[in-house]
Structure 1
């Protein structure tokens, strides 16, 4: 099944969506999550059932806001070492985080997801984008930026 089909299936019954971008903007491709959120915010999509959160490297700081918003669906987007080609996107099983090299965060994302799922019933997926480099730099590499823009187009195509 294609990435677009997987996203479409995940969002088929979506009533309220939060997209959470995670990563360090100062480390090139590791900043792909915040890069995506900033681009989505620039789109000025007016929809009270759609929220974009730039969590940087501290997604745990947003657990209260996420729970308060009470979404039906949550998409977490981050750079993820999956042994794929740079810029490849994949939906990663939220319980497989421990087996995959996730970038530089203060709390493990698997723990973060388990905490969010406690006493809630919204659906969560994790979209990983394979980085080319996580060296110091303020912008994603061209392959990762292309993937980020593709993710945005897919999301907009499904939601709008």
Structure 2
């Protein structure tokens, strides 16, 4: 599986990992990032080398906390319009997702990443999950929820 090997390669040698979920929990699949963070927290695997932050639609509010934690690796997870099938996951070039991302966030995610990279050494990737709908709804659609659970299992398989 290409996604799994890309994620595994990215995480090689990680010392401290921060996973940042971005999205609106009230807009079905747009809430996949926060949904993933909630599930990861329920697994009770957080420790001093693993952190999970639900940034909702305001990731820029967490720049200070992210810099203070100073992770070696940061994964940003969000719904992303990539022209794929609902639930498809892909590692997206962190500078290109401004062109394909979803603008429910107050700050462009590419600007957010560039800001974080100033004066820091940590590695950043963006995991996009293709949404099926962004209509009103309190949880992801079944295909996107399945992808979210797959991402969690892949991540746990790599880091635990």
Give the shorter-chain TM-score range: over 0.9
- Within a 5 Å distance, the mapping from 1:9-158 to structure 2 comes to 9-158=9-158
Cα deviation, residue 46, structure 1:
4.3
Find the residue that maps to 2:111 and give its secondary structure.
helix
**Distance in 2 of aligned mates of 1:34 and 1:100:** 19
**Distance in 2 of aligned mates of 1:103 and 1:149:** 24
Work out whether residues 80 and 103 of structure 1, in 8 Å CA contact, stay in contact via their aligned partners in 2.
Answer: no
Runs of 4+ in 1 over 6 A off after TM superposition: none
Cα deviation, residue 140, structure 1:
0.2
Q: Structure 1 stretch 94-103 or stretch 113-122: which is displaced more?
A: 94-103
Specify whether residues 29 and 103 from structure 1 end up closer, same or farther in structure 2 by C-alpha distance, changes over 3 A only. farther
In structure 1, runs of 5+ residues without a counterpart are none
Cα deviation, residue 68, structure 1:
0.1
**Distance in 2 of aligned mates of 1:105 and 1:18:** 20
**Distance in 2 of aligned mates of 1:122 and 1:31:** 25
**Distance in 1 of aligned mates of 2:123 and 2:60:** 17
Work out whether residues 80 and 101 of structure 2, in 8 Å CA contact, stay in contact via their aligned partners in 1.
Answer: yes
TM-score normalized with structure 1 length: 0.98
Alignment length (residue pairs):
160
Find the residue that maps to 2:80 and give its secondary structure.
strand
**Distance in 1 of aligned mates of 2:27 and 2:142:** 14
Work out whether residues 23 and 55 of structure 1, in 8 Å CA contact, stay in contact via their aligned partners in 2.
Answer: yes
TM-score normalized with structure 2 length: 0.98
Q: Deviations over 1:95-128 (max 9, x none)?
A: 1022213241000000000000000010000000
Cα deviation, residue 13, structure 1:
1.1
* Corresponding residue number in structure 1 for 2:8: 8
Cα RMSD after superposing both structures? 0.9
